[in-house]
A and B are shown apart, each in its own frame.
Chain A
Amino acid sequence: QQPVQSPQAVILREGEDAVINCSSSKALYSVHWYRQKHGEAPVFLMILLKGGEQKGHEKISASFNEKKQQSSLYLTASQLSYSGTYFCGTEMLGGSQGNLIFGKGTKLSVKP
């Protein structure tokens, strides 16, 4: 049931773009995206609800394709502060309300 994230790791130069994908084999109610910096707690970025909406946060946006049970996180014009590990958390349709299953994470490194 654990969602699959890809890629596992990505290295960027400042100003470059990246896409992180999250795919589930189960029907989803929502997808949550978190960023975790080394030695810190995960921090909520955004939530995508069933309905295919696209959300934005600074230069970070995301989409949710409920037919494919996939979500993608788009990071444009990356900054050094974007470095960290990104996790998607999936909330299943018919599952316990609010419970998330997290992917294994994508480590993003932004170099000057």
Chain B
Amino acid sequence: NAGVTQTPKFQVLKTGQSMTLQCAQDMNHNSMYWYRQDPGMGLRLIYYSASEGTTDKGEVPNGYNVSRLNKREFSLRLESAAPSQTSVYFCASSEAKPGLAKNIQYFGAGTRLSVL
């Protein structure tokens, strides 16, 4: 059982370049999330998808777009990368079923992105 898989693990971009971070989960979870983690800031939610076909903004969505391709996959796109987007990006998923009390989030290994 792979859990949550993120690709790539590392990426270096030049300012203005675009790229897509990929995330896939094999736990049949309904909800998926993208976070960024910066030193001393904790994990901040960029976008989330409560179910296949829906996406919503989180705390820090500016400069990003997302696609929930199907139930398994949730991608994050940087259209024109900026140095302020240098960060570690984590994808997570949870069952988040109505009536389920314990919505535990499971995280991927992260993508370390540097924008020069």
- Total A-B residue pairs with C-beta atoms closer than 8 Å? 61
Are A42 and B90 in contact, with the CB atoms below 8 A?
A: yes
* B interface secondary structure, majority: loop
- A104 proximity list for chain B (CB < 8 A): 40-42
Q: How far is the CA of A85 from the CA of B105 in the complex (A)?
A: 17
A41-B42 contact, Cβ under 8 Å, with A32-B104, A89-B105? no
- B103 proximity list for chain A (CB < 8 A): 30, 91, 97-98
A102-B43 contact, Cβ under 8 Å, with A32-B105, A41-B90, A41-B108? yes
B67, chain A: closest CB distance, angstroms: 19
A41-B110 contact, Cβ under 8 Å, with A89-B105, A100-B105, A103-B42? yes
Q: Size of chain B's interface in residues, with CB distance under 8 A?
A: 29
The residue of chain B having its C-beta at the shortest distance from the C-beta of A49 within the complex is B101
Q: Which of A42-73 contact B (CB under 8 A)?
A: 42-44, 47, 49
At the interface, yes or no: B107 with Cβ under 8 Å from chain A? yes
Are A98 and B96 in contact, with the CB atoms below 8 A?
A: yes
At the interface, yes or no: A12 with Cβ under 8 Å from chain B? no
Are B109 and A41 in contact, with the CB atoms below 8 A?
A: yes
Are A99 and B48 in contact, with the CB atoms below 8 A?
A: yes
9 pairs of A and B residues whose beta carbons are closest in the complex: A98-B96, A98-B103, A41-B107, A104-B42, A102-B43, A102-B42, A98-B94, A42-B107, A98-B31
Known A-B contacts: A42-B107, A89-B105, A98-B103. Give 14 more (CB < 8 A): A30-B103, A40-B110, A41-B108, A42-B90, A47-B102, A96-B56, A98-B95, A99-B33, A99-B45, A101-B45, A102-B42, A102-B44, A104-B42, A105-B42
